[in-house]
Chains A and B, each alone.
Chain A
Amino acid sequence: MILLPCPWCGSRDAGEFSYGGELTPRPDPRTATREQWRNYLYLRDNVAGWTTERWYHRMGCRRYLTVRRNTVTNEVAAP
């Protein structure tokens, strides 16, 4: 079982959460070029190792949270 650190509920089973993907800096929609926007939509680092992600506690308090996770070992650390 993989436990994720919800700031409100404490450590909970990852099955209660929805995966929001790796954190990707969002360009300013007013000034971004079409290419920058599409890169933001589609390109990901897909790191094999420690990465910073967004998760949503869907079946709990419904908070969004930021998690540091190692994608090779699935270890989780506080952000």
Chain B
Amino acid sequence: MTALSDRVHLRNGHARPSRYSAFALLRHGVTGESWPLAWRTHEPRHSYDVVVVGGGVHGLATAYYLARNHGITNVAVVDKSYIGSGGSGRNTAILRSNYLTPDGVRFYDRSLTLYQRLAAELNYNVMFSRRGHLTLAHNDSSLRTMRWRAEVNKACGVDSEVIGPDDIKTLVPFMDTSTQTRYPILGALYHPPGGIIRHDAVVWGYARAADAMGVHVHQDTEVTGIDVEGGRVTGVRTNRGSIATNVVVNCAAGWATLVSDLAGVRLPVQTFPLQAAVTEPVRPFLDTVVVSGTLHVYVSQTDRGELVFGASVDPFASYSTRGSLEFVEGLASHVLQLMPSLSPLRLLRQWAGLCDMTPDFAPIMGHTAVEGFLVDVGWGTYGFKAGPVAGEAMAECIATGRTPELISAFGLRRFADGTLVGEKGAAAVGH
């Protein structure tokens, strides 16, 4: 393994990846010189200041903001597979901040702000496309909730408004806004700042930027044990050896309970698969994100022209990421109720990601009863859009030892204290 990292180092010719720029693109194009690897491989050190478990957007963002905002660079991000192999590479890449509670709105709006400047900050094209986001209302109670959400959003300075079927038809001409359908469209919550992003690029961009500041990204490194002595974390054991550390952050998403079990911390989390699918690419015709809670479906068109479909979680807990025929049958019928003209399209592929669901559809963030064992879990169906703000807040939590006000409502204690978060703007809730 040492030989491998030496080779990588030699091939790179320099310790840190060079900046991407139009000039670099031209130079590489003309000379045919190969691009340096975006991040390096290392042998694990014997000790780190912080070990982050889970190399998804949350784990990598935590490491990145630890290094950038707090100068803590002796950090390892370990993942049992390749980075972005879990939910970060399996979500439908939708970003929005039109939540229901002021806490939720502020939190996700901060995330959107960070996403907005991420490409320039990371020197990596994350392809954020702010194209607008429509949440459809098919009955009076959803329309009432949309109005409520719009008012909360406006009060928090977030652009959202309720629009009628005519305006929806203008934005999405292919939508069936007739009143003769099973679930007629009465209106929608229109959220212009929402959009889609290239989720893999976010993962790779954070990994590259964290690596450049000295963070070690260890792929294929599975945590097999967490050492706790006298109520304090002292180290982690991995399939590549033991690492001494006083701080372990659990960013393992669908596998969150398996990691926290190693530290003896129980979590109110259950793992449910969420399936998604893409169609063959077609010419661009859909430039907003369309979501229907009643029909449990969301649709967007990627820059390649594929339609990406997502749904709510599967009806039972599982760690299996196999797709099911029941899912595509239901999905197709729901999509066609919204846009009947899509019927000739064929699905290219379907997949599933694992969601760590909490009882109140809100994340669990911050310190636990074991000193030095922090969690950033319970991200369920809404974790990707929160990656930057969660990483920023967790980094502050680790560096200062205090819980930032922005995430104070999300502590693990709330389940023992009975102060659950009432966030029903999450994707899994059908209203």
Contact stretch, chosen from B6-14, B315-323, B403-411 = B315-323
| B386 at the A interface (CB under 8 A) | no
- The prevalent SS among residues of B at the interface is loop
Question: Are A15 and B319 in contact, with the CB atoms below 8 A?
Answer: no
| A21 at the B interface (CB under 8 A) | yes
How far apart are B348's CB and chain A's nearest CB, in angstroms? 23
How far apart are A68's CB and chain B's nearest CB, in angstroms? 14
| A73 at the B interface (CB under 8 A) | yes
Residues 59-79 of chain A: 1 if any B CB is under 8 Å from the residue's CB, otherwise 0?
000000000000111100000
Question: Are A21 and B326 in contact, with the CB atoms below 8 A?
Answer: no
Interface residues of B, count at CB 8 A: 22
Specify the chain B residue showing the minimal Cβ separation from A13. Answer: B326
Q: Select one of A34, A43, A45, A71 contacting B318, CB under 8 A.
A: A71
| B88 at the A interface (CB under 8 A) | no
Question: Are A38 and B415 in contact, with the CB atoms below 8 A?
Answer: yes
- Chain B residues near A14 (CB, 8 Å)? 316
Residues 311-350 of chain B: 1 if any A CB is under 8 Å from the residue's CB, otherwise 0?
0000111111010011000000000000000000000000
Known contacts: A19-B315, A38-B416, A38-B418. The answer to whether A44 contacts B268 by CB under 8 A is: yes
- Chain A residues near B267 (CB, 8 Å)? 43, 46
List A7-52 residues whose CB lies under 8 Å from chain B.
14-15, 18-19, 21-22, 34-35, 38-39, 41-46, 48
Question: Are B319 and A71 in contact, with the CB atoms below 8 A?
Answer: yes
Known contacts: A42-B268, A48-B258. The answer to whether A15 contacts B316 by CB under 8 A is: no
| B271 at the A interface (CB under 8 A) | yes
Measured in the bound complex, the distance between the Cα atoms of B270 and A41 in whole Å is: 13
Question: Are B319 and A48 in contact, with the CB atoms below 8 A?
Answer: yes
- Chain B residues near A15 (CB, 8 Å)? 326
Question: Are B318 and A42 in contact, with the CB atoms below 8 A?
Answer: no
Measured in the bound complex, the distance between the Cα atoms of B320 and A14 in whole Å is: 15
Measured in the bound complex, the distance between the Cα atoms of B315 and A14 in whole Å is: 10
Question: Could you tell me which B residues sit within 8 Å of A by CB distance?
Answer: 255, 257-258, 266-271, 315-320, 322, 325-326, 359, 415-416, 418
Pick the 7 closest A-B CB pairs, nearest first.
Answer: A42-B268, A19-B316, A46-B257, A42-B415, A72-B319, A48-B319, A71-B318
Can you show 27 pairs from A to B with CB atoms below 8 A apart?
A19-B315, A19-B316, A21-B270, A22-B317, A34-B418, A42-B415, A43-B266, A43-B268, A43-B415, A44-B257, A44-B269, A44-B270, A46-B258, A46-B269, A46-B270, A48-B255, A48-B271, A48-B319, A71-B271, A71-B317, A71-B319, A71-B320, A72-B318, A72-B319, A73-B320, A74-B318, A74-B322
